[in-house]
């Protein structure tokens, strides 16, 4: 009994040590999303291809898809664009774009120059939808299920290894929905 009591501080210390040690390898920049498993926020914003057309959250439903938050002022968005082209144009995965706090004219030029992997692009010039989504830095990529519910969020560049992970998740969600 006494031995047990004496070992408590050591055990507590080791527990704390493991906890803090794990913290050393966590990225403080990835925040847990508050919106996982919640429906995509309601919005009504113009489409980049036709500014008179209003897009809403209903336009994002129907299939398991990616939603990519991007802007022309965002250097990492440029880096990941080739990967998005591969995902959207070669593999035929549905990607919706959310053009975040950007000039639509510049955005159109960018898509013309670097190719356009997006099915639809929402224009969020003021960043209201970004705010509702809890966007804190572009690029961000979300997985939406058929009902338009947010299932996963990735902050930062989508590269090949991230994409493999995302694709696996999308396939699992697809099975669940079926």
Footprint of other proteins on this chain (CB under 8 A)? 28-29, 31-35, 101, 127, 130-137
Considering the complex, what minimum distance in angstroms separates the CB of residue 159 from other proteins? 22
Nearer to other proteins, 64 or 71 (CB): 71
Nearer to other proteins, 63 or 125 (CB): 125
Nearer to other proteins, 29 or 113 (CB): 29
CA distances from 106 to 47, 60, 100 (A): 14, 24, 12
Nearer to other proteins, 20 or 34 (CB): 34
Which DSSP helix (H) or strand (E) runs through 165?
helix 160-177
Nearer to other proteins, 23 or 92 (CB): 23
- Angle, in degrees to the nearest 10, between helices 75-85 and 104-114: 40
Considering the complex, what minimum distance in angstroms separates the CB of residue 140 from other proteins? 11
Considering the complex, what minimum distance in angstroms separates the CB of residue 49 from other proteins? 25
**Contact present, 99 and 123 (Cβ < 8 Å):** yes
Considering the complex, what minimum distance in angstroms separates the CB of residue 29 from other proteins? 7
Considering the complex, what minimum distance in angstroms separates the CB of residue 19 from other proteins? 11
- Per DSSP (E only), the strands in 20-62 are 44-46, 54-56
Dist. CA 60–CA 138, nearest whole Å: 20
CB atoms within 10 A of CB 174: 13
The tokens for 85 are 């082209």
């Amino acid at each position: 009994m006494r031995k047990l009591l004496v070992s408590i501080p050591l055990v507590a210390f080791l527990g704390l040590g493991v906890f803090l040690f794990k913290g050393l390898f966590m990225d403080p920049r990835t925040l847990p999303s508050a919106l996982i498993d919640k429906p995509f926020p309601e919005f009504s914003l113009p489409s980049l291809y036709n500014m008179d057309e209003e897009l809403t959250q209903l336009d994002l439903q129907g299939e398991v898809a990616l939603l990519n938050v991007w802007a022309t002022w965002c250097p990492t968005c440029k880096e990941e664009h080739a990967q998005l082209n591969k995902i959207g144009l070669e593999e035929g995965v549905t990607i919706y774009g959310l053009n975040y706090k950007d000039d639509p004219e510049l955005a159109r030029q960018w898509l013309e120059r670097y190719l356009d992997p997006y099915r639809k692009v929402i224009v969020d010039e003021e960043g209201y939808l970004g705010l509702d989504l809890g966007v804190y830095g572009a690029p961000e990529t979300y997985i939406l299920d058929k009902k338009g519910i947010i299932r996963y969020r990735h902050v930062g560049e989508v590269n090949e290894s991230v994409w493999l992970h995302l694709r696996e998740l999308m396939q699992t969600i697809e099975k669940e929905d079926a």
